[in-house]
Amino acid sequence: MHRAYQTPGGSIRDIKLCLLGDAGVGKSCLVHRFVSDAFNASSPPTIGAAFMTKMMLVGDQAFKFNIWDTAGQERFKSLAPLYYRDAAAAILVYDITSDSSFHALKTWIKELTRYGPPDILIAIAGNKCDKADQREVQEEEAEEFASSVEAVFVETSARTNKNVHWLFEELSRRLPQEQAESLTGNRTLVRPKQAEEHPKRSCCSEK
Amino acid sequence: MADCDDDEMFLDSGFDGPVLPWDRFRRWVTCFCVVTFDIELGQALELVYPAHIELTDREKTNICYLAFPDSNSGCMGDTQFHFRIRCSPRSCQKSHLVKRYEDEVPLAYRSDPAHFYGFAYFRQVKDPSIQRGYFQKSVVLISRLPYVNLFTEAVQLIAPSYFENGELSLETVCHDIDQWPYPEAGHTLQLPLMGNVMQVRVPSRGDKPGAVSSPDHPLVAHIVPQMPSPKVIPTLRDPDIFRCLQSVLPHIHLLWELALTNEPIVVMAPSPTICSETVQALASLISPLHYCSDYRPFFTIHDTEFKEYTTRTQAPPGVILGVTNPFFAKTLQHWPHMVRIGEMSNLGIYTKYKQLLAKDKLIFRRLSKGNHPKRPPEVQNAILRRHMLELTQSFMIPLERYVASLMPLQRSISPWKRPPRLKPFDADEFLTTLEHSGPQLTSRLKGNWVALYRKFFKSANFEGWLRHRKQEIRQKLELLHLEALGKADVSFWIQDKQEVEMVDLFLQIKEKMACSESFYPPISFEVKQQLKGHLLSIIRTLPEDLQFVLKNS
C-alpha cells in the first residue's frame, strides 16, 4: 500500500524541479534546507546532480517535488539539459555577494528558453542573504531582472532558513493546473475512497 | 574488479554502519566498459569506469568481443543486447552481509558470484572524420545482478549521453547509482538516473508466485508514494515471452520441456538483440523454478568457452546458447535442438525430440481471441506467463510435497540429541506417489508425466532445486532443534551431569547460535533469549576458573 498522504483534494501532484546556477552559490544547501531542514556550511561540491524528493502541502493540494540539484562546476554544464529537459520548474540560484554569479543567470535563462520545455516556470533565488554586509547584487536590480524574464524572485538564506519554504510554495502556487499535468505526462492519482466521498470539481482527477 | 574480498569487506560497513562512497554502487553495478573498434587492434577496451575496478584479461577479452555484434550484419544505428560471461575464479564467496540481504530474495534475483551480465549499447554510424568512415563504439554496463529489464532501460539512457558528453556522463551516472538504495526484498525503490527516475520492485520469497508486483512494504523514508512520473519497470528481469517467442508460439510446450530438462538449445537469430531476448525468454519459461544451468544470451566464436561448448568429442552441454553468426549453423550441427527466430530463412524449431506432454490447445485459443479486438501485448504476455507458471507449478507441486514428506517428524526432535536427518530422495518412491497426487490434480495436460520426471531427475535444474530444498529443510530442522533446546529445562538436565558434559553443552549452544545467524527466516528473539539464559545457568554451576575460560572463549 502507498503511504497515505491525506489531502482534502485527494490528489498528489508530481513536480520535477531542477536547480541551476554557478558553483558555490548554495544550490545544494537550499535543497537540504528545504528537504531535511538542515544546513551544512561546508558541503562538498555536487557531482553531476543529486536527486531528492519532498512532499509539501499548499492549501489543500499535496505536491511531491522531485528535485534535481545540478552541479555548478563548469565541466558539468554540458549535462544540464538532461536534468531540465522535462522539468516543470527551475530555480536559478545566485549568490548576493557575487556579482558574477548574478550575471551568469542571463546565460542560464537563454539556455532554458532554447533547450528547456516551453512553459517551464522559473524562479530566481538570491541566496546567502544573511551576508548582507558583503552584498554585491542589489535586491532591486535582481527583482527587475526577474520580472523582465517573468520569474518568481526572492532572496533566500539556506543558513537562516529565510524564504526557503516560501520559494517552493510560491512555485507550486504559480504552477498552472493543466501544466502540472501535461508536464508530468500523466494524470494525477486520486485515492479511490476519497474520490467517492467528495466528487472532485477539477478536471485533474481520475475516475 | 578490485577483488571481491575488499569489495565485500566494504559492504559490511554498509548494513548498519555508515554508507561509504561506492558502497551502494557496487551492490548494483560492477563497472562500465567502453569498447571501440580500433583499425589496428580490432575491438579495444577504451575505458573502464570506475577506474579502480580490475578485470582479468580473460574477462576483458570476452567483454570486448561480446560488446559488438558478431557477424557484421549491418547493425546500423543503435543496437542493444545483453550477454553473460563467466567471471574468473576469485575468492568470491558472498559476504555474510550480502547473504543476509539476499536471503529473502528469490533465487533468480540474487547476485551471481560466478557470472557477469553485460548490457551493451552499440552505435555504428557513418563518420567521415574517422579513417574507416564509421564510428563504432559500445557502452557496456557490467553487473552481477541479472536485472535485464532494469539495466537495459538504464543503458538506453546512459550510452547516448556518453556518446555526446564523454566520460563525464559516466562519472555522473556512477554518482547517481551510488545514491540508489540497496536492492532489498519486497521493497519498491525509486532509482534516479540522469534526470529520470525509474521505479522497480525487488521481489520477495514471501510473494505469491505470479502475483502482480505491487509494493507491500512501506517505502523507504525519503521516498514518497509512486506517481506516474517515475518510469515504472514492472519486473526487474522477466522478459516478455509472448513477444519474444511469438513466432514459435505453437511449440511453446515443447520449448518448456526442453528448458525444464536442461536440453542443449542453440538459438539462431539475425541480430544480437533478438538472440539475447529469446535466450532470456527460454530460460525464464520455467519460472518460478530457477534455471540452474548456463545460458548465454549472446555467444560468439571468440568466446573463451567456444571450444568447451562446441567440441564434438563430448555430448553437447545442457546449456542455451544464443548466436548470430551463420558459422554456428555448421559448428553446432550436432546439437539436438535449434531454434531459428527473427527475420531469417528456415524459421522454426529443429529437433528430433518427442514432446512428452500434449499441447494445451486452450491457451492458443485464448491468445488468438486476443487478436480481435486487439488486446494489449502486455495482457497477452501476462496470460501466457500465467499459463506457463501454472504448468511449472503443476509439475513441481508433487515434488515439493514429496520432499516435505522426507522431513523427520517433529516429535523425533530432542533437545539433547542431534537434529534428525532428512530422508534421502528416492525417485522410484516419488513416482509411486504420482498415482494419487500427481500433476493431474492441477493440470489437464495429458501425456507421459513419468518420463518427463525421469528426464528431469537427470537435469541441473533438478539438482539445483533439490540442493536448495534440502538446505532449507536442514535449516528448518536446526531451527526446530534450537527451539526445543530453548524450551528445555537445562538447569534440571545438568544436575546429574559431569563437568565435561556441561562444558560440551555450553559450547554446542554457542556454536549453534553463531551458526543460526545466517538463517532465513531468522530465529526468534524469544528463542535467542532462552538460549542465552541457558548459557548463563550452565556457566554459573561451573567452577570459577572454567567460567573465566568459557567467557573468553
DSSP B259-310: HHTT--EEEE-SSHHHHHHHHHHHHHTTTTS---S-EESS--TTSTTHHHHH
Q: What residue of B is the nearest CA neighbor of A182?
A: B229
Query: What is the per-residue pLDDT for A205?
Result: 36
Q: Compute the 3-state secondary structure of chain B and give helix, strand, coil in percent, each to the nearest 5.
A: 45, 15, 40
B76, pLDDT greater than 90: no
Taking contacts as CB-CB distances below 8 angstroms, the residues of chain A near B195 are 18, 49, 68, 82-86
Q: Which of A36-40, B203-207, B283-287, B378-382 has the highest mean pLDDT?
A: B283-287
The secondary structure of B243-264, three-state, reads HHHHHHHHHHHHHHHHHHCCCC
Separation of alpha carbons B337 and B46, rounded Å: 38
pTM of the model: 0.85
pLDDT for A57-113, tens place per residue?
988 888 999 999 999 998 899 999 999 988 999 999 999 999 999 999 999 999 999
Q: Do A53 and B222 touch (CB under 8 A)?
A: yes
Which helix (H) or strand (E) covers residue A81, if one does? helix A80-84
Q: What angle, 0 to 180 degrees and rounded to 10, lies between the N-to-C axes of helices B427-437 and B377-405?
A: 120
- pLDDT tier for residue A3 given thresholds of 50, 70 and 90: very low
How many alpha carbons fall within 13 Å on the CB side of residue A172?
A: 22
How many alpha carbons fall within 13 Å on the CB side of residue B328?
A: 28
Query: What is the per-residue pLDDT for B284?
Result: 95
Separation of alpha carbons B138 and B69, rounded Å: 10
Taking contacts as CB-CB distances below 8 angstroms, the residues of chain A near B165 are 78-79
Query: What is the per-residue pLDDT for B95?
Result: 64
Residues B36-45 have a mean pLDDT of 87
Least confident of A2-11, B99-108, B523-532: A2-11
- pLDDT tier for residue B166 given thresholds of 50, 70 and 90: very high
Query: What is the per-residue pLDDT for B351?
Result: 93
- Among the partner-chain residues B168, B195, B222, the one whose CB lies closest to the CB of A68 is B195
CB contact B217 to A (< 8 Å): no
Separation of alpha carbons B111 and B145, rounded Å: 5
B324, pLDDT greater than 80: yes
CA distance B11 to chain A (A): 22
Least confident of A3-12, B137-146, B293-302, B322-331: A3-12
Query: What is the per-residue pLDDT for A4?
Result: 39
B221, pLDDT greater than 90: no
CA distance A51 to chain B (A): 7
Q: Is B309 exposed, middle or buried (0-12, 13-18, 19+ CB in 10 A)?
A: buried
Residues B183-205 have a mean pLDDT of 92
- Among the partner-chain residues A12, A18, A184, the one whose CB lies closest to the CB of B225 is A12
B86, pLDDT greater than 60: yes
Q: What residue of B is the nearest CA neighbor of A56?
A: B224
Residue with cell 569498447: B35
pLDDT for A145-198, tens place per residue?
999 999 999 999 999 999 999 999 999 999 876 444 434 433 333 333 333 333
Separation of alpha carbons B120 and B134, rounded Å: 18
Q: List, as ranges, residues 180-209 from B with C-beta within 8 Å of A.
A: 190, 192, 194-195, 197
Query: What rounded mean pLDDT belongs to chain B?
Result: 87
Q: What residue of A is the nearest CA neighbor of B213?
A: A1
Q: Compute the 3-state secondary structure of chain A and give helix, strand, coil in percent, each to the nearest 5.
A: 40, 25, 35
The C-alpha cell at B164 is 555526446
High-pLDDT (> 90) share of chain B, %: 55
B230 or B256, greater pLDDT: B256
- pLDDT tier for residue A45 given thresholds of 50, 70 and 90: confident
